[in-house]
Every structure is written in structure tokens, then in C-alpha cells.
């Protein structure tokens, strides 16, 4: 077990933007932005302060992805399991989301960012849904970066919903079971039209997927760091991409 941790967390030399531009970049990066609460606790701050600091990090990472020319970024903002957290923290997260949209929308539009949400947003507060719908509408024509935000999202729920939708079409006689294939299934996922993630980043030292993009991550390269999300800097993203570029992606075949 110790060797496993050393493999992922060993100290590495500083990687720069120039280092990673020498090889192809991952077109789609997925991130679990973990560690906001622990970051705040270590500083003697309320958990909400950690989430606010995490929002600042997200701004930086989005700008870095734009600078690098990465076309897709998916971030795990609120899971179906996060409802189990204290009501005060859930409410704070919702208000922070609204604040982030209000504060960043103009700049996101200006930078060519398209906002897309995945998950069951119908269960979110009405004013949050309104902000989300407006942000998606305002940025619908942008193409420089698709910022896919997972809200009230669960990978198992996504798969279950896809199965239900396909089953309804079969029951109605609009789809024959023999015609169901991988493409059919993927067209019924929340992420329809978006390519699978190439690189999956998780901060704060946890080594699990936590119900995030389960179907889509079948052949995604995983990268973990002990750095808490509020402390995650462009240099950490460069390191993740650099490590990704050194791996051989065989997708079950031979190089």
C-alpha cells in the first residue's frame, strides 16, 4: 500500500506550460474538486470559506484551460450524495453557485466559454435553476471551451435514467431492442454530444471515482494529488497533463 501512495504522491520537478505544449494535450479533462472543507478546517475557517476559495481556483483552472486550448472541462460541483451534508452547507453551496455565475458570466462569454450542466437540476432551488438556464442560454453559441458542470449529479443515476429512457422508447415501439448499441446508449446520457474525458484529476488525496462519470471514464487516465482544491494551481494542472502525456493509451489493444 505504501508503494502505491509513493507512486502517485512522490515529489516531482516543476513542470511548465512549455513542457506540456510539446505533445498533444488531452481534449477533455474531468476534475473532482475535493478538499475545500479540510482546507478551511486547517486554517480555522468555516467550511463555506473553503468552498469560496475553491470557486477562485475554478476560475484559475478555467482560464488555464482556455490558455492551453483544451476544448472540454468537466467539474464535479455537487453530487446526488451531497444532499446528506448539513442544510447550512448545502444552502451556502447553492448561493455560491449563483454568485459564481453572476460574477463570472460576462467574462466567460467574452472568453468563448460555453456553460453546460449535467445532472438533475430540477431538484435545485428555483432561483438557482433560473441562473443556470440563463447562463446556458447566454453562452450557447460559444465554442472555445465547453465548461460542463456536474450539479446534483450521480453516475449511477445517469446510467439508470438512460436505461429508463431507452426502455420507454422500446415500450412505445419507437426503438427495437436489436438496434440498441453503444452509440444509442451514449445518446441518452447527460453528456450526449460531449467526448469522454481523457484525463481525470482528483485533489485532496482521495483515490476513488465517487460516482463521477462512471460510464464515460471507462478508459480515462486517472491522476491524483494530495493538494487541496483551493491550493490547486496551474502548475499542478501542468503536472497532471505532463504525466498523462507520458502514458500509453492502448484501449485494450496493443501499442
Measured distance CA(131)–CA(101) in Å, rounded: 7
Q: In this structure, what C-alpha cell is assigned to residue 11?
A: 515529489
C-alpha angle 165/72/30, rounded to 5°?
75
Contact criterion met (CB below 8 Å) for 205 and 39: no
**Residues identified as active-site:** 34, 82
Give 3-state DSSP helix, strand, coil % of the chain, rounded to 5: 50, 15, 35
Strands 28-32 and 145-153: unpaired
Measured distance CA(240)–CA(57) in Å, rounded: 16
- Evaluated on CA atoms 51, 53, 59, 61, the torsion sign reads negative
Sequence-distant (6+) residues with CB within 8 A of 192 are 186
Residue spans of alpha helices (H) in 23-86: 36-42, 47-68
Q: What are phi and psi of 148, to 5 degrees?
A: -95, 115
Sequence-distant (6+) residues with CB within 8 A of 159 are 189, 214, 215
Amino acid at each position: 500500500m505504501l508503494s502505491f501512495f509513493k507512486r502517485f504522491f512522490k515529489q516531482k520537478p516543476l513542470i511548465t506550460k512549455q513542457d506540456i505544449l510539446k505533445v498533444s494535450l488531452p481534449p477533455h479533462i474531468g476534475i473532482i474538486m475535493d478538499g475545500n472543507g479540510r482546507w478551511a478546517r486547517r486554517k480555522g475557517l468555516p467550511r463555506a470559506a473553503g468552498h469560496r476559495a475553491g470557486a477562485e481556483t475554478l476560475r484559475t483552472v478555467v482560464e488555464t484551460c482556455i490558455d492551453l486550448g483544451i476544448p472540454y472541462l468537466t467539474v464535479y460541483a455537487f453530487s446526488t450524495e451531497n444532499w446528506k451534508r448539513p442544510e447550512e452547507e448545502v444552502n451556502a453551496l447553492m448561493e455560491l453557485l449563483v454568485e459564481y455565475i453572476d460574477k463570472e458570466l460576462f467574462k466567460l462569454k467574452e472568453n468563448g466559454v460555453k456553460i453546460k450542466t449535467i445532472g438533475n437540476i430540477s431538484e435545485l432551488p428555483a432561483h438557482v435553476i433560473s441562473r443556470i438556464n440563463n447562463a446556458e442560454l447566454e453562452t450557447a453559441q460559444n465554442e472555445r471551451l465547453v465548461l460542463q458542470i456536474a450539479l446534483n449529479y450521480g453516475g449511477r443515476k445517469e446510467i439508470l435514467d438512460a436505461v429508463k429512457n431507452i426502455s420507454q422508447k422500446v415500450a412505445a415501439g419507437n426503438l427495437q431492442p436489436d438496434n440498441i448499441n453503444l452509440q444509442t446508449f451514449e445518446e441518452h446520457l447527460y453528456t450526449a454530444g460531449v467526448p469522454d474525458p481523457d484525463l481525470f484529476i482528483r485533489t485532496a488525496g482521495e483515490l476513488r471515482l465517487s460516482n463521477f462519470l462512471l460510464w464515460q471514464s471507462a478508459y480515462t487516465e486517472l491522476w491524483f494529488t494530495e493538494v487541496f482544491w483551493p491550493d490547486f494551481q496551474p502548475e499542478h494542472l501542468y503536472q497532471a497533463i505532463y504525466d498523462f502525456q507520458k502514458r500509453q493509451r492502448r484501449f485494450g489493444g496493443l501499442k
